[in-house]
Amino acid sequence: MTFSVRAGLKKFNLEHHFEVKNIYEYYAKWIREGKLKVSSDWNKDLKIKFTVQDPCQIVRKSYGDPIAEDLRYVVKSVVGEENFIDMQPNRSNNFCCGGGGGFLQSGFKEQRLKYGELKDKQIKATGADYCIAGCHNCHAQIHELSEHYGGHYPVVHLWTLICLSLGILGPNEREYLGDDLKEVNVFHPETAM
Amino acid sequence: MNDEVIQLGGKKQRTFMDKVKEILPEGGNLNLCLTCGACSSGCPATGLDGMDPRKFLRMAALGLDEEIAKSDWPWMCTMCQRCIYVCPMQIDIPQLVYNARALRPREERPKGILGSCDMALRNASTSAMGTAPDDFVFVVEDVLEEYREAQPEFADMQAPIDKQGAEFFLNQNSREPVTEPDELVPLWKILHLAGADWTYGSEGWAGENYCMFLADNDSWEHVTKTTVNQANKLRVKTFLNTE
Contacts of B214 in chain A (CB under 8 A): 102
The answer, yes or no, to whether residue B107 has pLDDT greater than 90, is yes
CA distance A50 to B78: 25
φ and ψ at residue B239, rounded to 5 degrees: -90, 110
The dihedrals phi and psi of A132, each to the nearest 5 degrees, come to -90, 130
What pLDDT does B6 receive? 75
Q: Give the Cα separation of A1 and A114 in Å (integer).
A: 25
Residues contacting residue B138 through CB under 8 Å, at least 6 positions apart: none
pLDDT band at B5 (very low <50, low <70, confident <90, very high): confident
CA-to-CA dists, residue A128 to A46, A50, A97, A163, angstroms: 13, 5, 17, 20
pLDDT > 70? residue B1 = no
* CA–CA distances in Å: residue B229 to residues A15, B167, B202, B204, B223: 9, 16, 12, 8, 10
Cis peptide before A89 (omega within 30 of 0): yes
With contact defined as beta carbons under 8 Å apart, do A100 and A184 qualify? Answer: no
Please say if the pLDDT value at position B7 is more than 80: no
**How many residues appear in chain A?**
193
The residue of chain A with its CA nearest to that of B86 is A93
**Model's pTM, two decimal places?**
0.95
**Contact yes or no for A95 and B44 at CB 8 A:** yes
Of A58, A33, A190, A29, residue with least CA distance to A134: A58
Q: Which helix (H) or strand (E) holds B100?
A: helix B93-101
User: Would you say how long chain B is, in residues?
Assistant: 243
Fold of A32-191: Rossmann fold (3.40.50)
Candidate from B48, B85, B238 with C-beta closest to A93: B85
Cβ contacts below 8 Å, chain A against chain B, sum to: 218
Task: Name every chain A residue with its beta carbon within 8 A of the beta carbon of B157.
Answer: none
- Residue B231: list chain A partners with CB under 8 A: 16, 18
Neighbours of B126 (CB within 10 A): 31
Contact (Cβ atoms closer than 8 angstroms) between residue A142 and residue A128 = no
Who among A58, A104, A162 is closest to B243 (CB)? Answer: A58
B208 contacts on A by Cβ (under 8 Å): 1, 136
Nearest chain B residue to A171 by CA: give it: B182
Question: Could you give the CA distance from residue B208 to residue A30 in angstroms, rounded to a whole number?
Answer: 26
Predicted pLDDT at B13: 82
pLDDT tens column, B184-219? 999 999 999 999 999 999 999 999 999 999 999 999
Delimit the domains of chain B by residue range: 16-104, 111-240
Q: Does A5 touch chain B (CB under 8 A)?
A: yes
Question: Can you give the C-alpha Rg of chain B in angstroms?
Answer: 23
CA distance A164 to A112: 32
Band the pLDDT of B12: cuts 50, 70, 90.
confident
Burial class (CB in 10 A: 0-12, 13-18, 19+), A149: middle
* Neighbouring residues of B134: CB distance < 8 A, sequence distance ≥ 6: none
Q: Which residues of B touch A160 (CB under 8 A)?
A: 186
Q: What is the pLDDT of residue B10?
A: 66
Q: Domain spans of chain A?
A: 32-191
Model pLDDT for residues A44-88, shown as the tens digit of each residue: 999 999 999 999 999 999 999 999 999 999 999 999 999 999 999
Q: What is the pLDDT of residues B58-91, one digit of tens each?
A: 999 999 999 999 999 999 999 999 999 999 999 9
Taking an 8 Å cut-off on Cβ atoms, the answer to whether A106 and B110 are in contact is yes
- Longest pairwise C-alpha distance within chain B: 77
Put simply, the chain A residues between 135 and 174 with a CB less than 8 A from any chain B CB are 135-137, 157, 159-160, 162-163, 166, 168-170, 172-173
User: How many C-beta neighbours within 10 Å does residue A101 have?
Assistant: 27
A68 within 8 A of A75, measured Cβ to Cβ: no
Q: What is chain B's mean pLDDT, rounded?
A: 96
Helices B217-233 and B111-122 meet at what angle, rounded to 10? 40
Q: B188: nearest CA in chain A?
A: A159
In angstroms, rounded to a whole number, what is the distance separating the alpha carbons of residues B121 and B188?
27
pLDDT value at residue A1: 72
DSSP character string of A24-83: HHHHHHHHHTTSS----GGGTTT---EEEE--TTTIIIII-HHHHHHHHHHHHHHH-GGG
CB atoms within 10 A of CB B105: 7
Q: CA angle, corner A171, sides to A168 and A172, nearest 5?
A: 110
> Of the given ranges (A122-136, B5-19, B134-148), which has the lowest mean pLDDT?
B5-19
pLDDT at A14 (0 to 100): 97
CB contact under 8 A, A60 and B80: yes
Nearest to B225 by CA among A13, A21, A63: A13
Chain A CB contacts of B220 below 8 Å: 4, 8, 12
**Helix ranges (DSSP H) in B133-216:** 133-150, 175-179, 185-194, 210-213
Whether residue B232 contacts residue A25, with contact meaning beta carbons closer than 8 Å, is answered with no
Strand order in the sheet with A50-53: A50-53, A130-133, A155-156
Instruction: Report the alpha-carbon distance of residue A4 to residue B241 in Å, rounded.
Output: 11
Contact B213 A102 (CB under 8 A): yes
Looking at the complex, report in whole angstroms how far the Cα of residue A83 sits from the nearest Cα belonging to chain B: 22
- pLDDT of B4: 80
Nearest CA in chain B to A111: B48
Residue type present at position B218: D
What residues 38-77 of chain A have any CB closer than 8 A to a CB of chain B?
A: 55-58, 60-61
Contact B187 A60 (CB under 8 A): no
Interface contact flag, A173 B185, Cβ < 8 Å:
yes
